[in-house]
Amino acid sequence: MPRYELLQLNESQREELTRWAHSRTLPAGDVFRAKLILSLADGMTYEQVVSALGTTKPTIARWKARFEQAGIAGLEPRHKGSQPRSATPAVQARVIRRVQQRPPDGSTHWSAENLRHT
């Protein structure tokens, strides 16, 4: 079984990662990465982290390396997902026209149900 070097954290890093690990409002990925780094700093082996966090050794190695290179900033995901889309003026005009009309099913108000059938 390979031996892994203990990950060193300073006090402010440990405090910040502990806040992340216990957060109920941060994205789950941030919480996961904080728990991973704290586990390594507490002396857990890769096998123990795999079992505790349900992850893989390559994932552990990737986030450990990023943390060692850039500190907490290295734990930011590199791909933030797609950019929010905003409706074009043509789409906005179509929506406004649609909601100013009566629903086609004869009801008096628009609902998610009658929108699905238009």
Residue 44 counted as domain residue: yes
Task: Please state whether the predicted TM-score (pTM) of the whole model is above 0.75.
Answer: no
Token pair 């990950």 is found at 7
Q: Give me the pLDDT at residue 20, please.
A: 97
Residue 23 counted as domain residue: yes
Helix axes 57-70, 46-53, angle to 10 degrees: 110
Q: How many domains does the chain have?
A: 1
- Domain residues for the domain of 65 are 11-75
Q: Which of the two residues, 111 and 17, has the higher pLDDT score?
A: 17
Residue 42 counted as domain residue: yes
Q: Give me the pLDDT at residue 64, please.
A: 95
Residue ranges in the chain assigned as alpha helix (H): 11-22, 28-41, 46-53, 57-70, 89-100, 112-116
Alpha carbons 40 and 43: distance in angstroms, whole number = 5
Q: Give me the pLDDT at residue 102, please.
A: 80
- pLDDT, one tens digit per residue, over 19-42 is 999 999 999 999 999 999 999 999
Interacting residues of 43 by C-beta distance below 8 A, sequence separation 6+: 6
Report the chain's C-alpha Rg in angstroms: 24
Residue 27 counted as domain residue: yes
Least Cα distance to 67 among 25, 24, 14, 19 occurs for 14
- pLDDT, one tens digit per residue, over 71-118 is 999 998 877 777 777 888 888 888 888 778 887 777 777 777 776 665
Q: Which of the two residues, 83 and 13, has the higher pLDDT score?
A: 13
Residue 116 counted as domain residue: no
Residue 105 counted as domain residue: no
- In the predicted structure, residue 5 carries a pLDDT above the cut 60: yes
CA–chain centroid gap for 46, Å, is 22
- In the predicted structure, residue 6 carries a pLDDT above the cut 70: yes
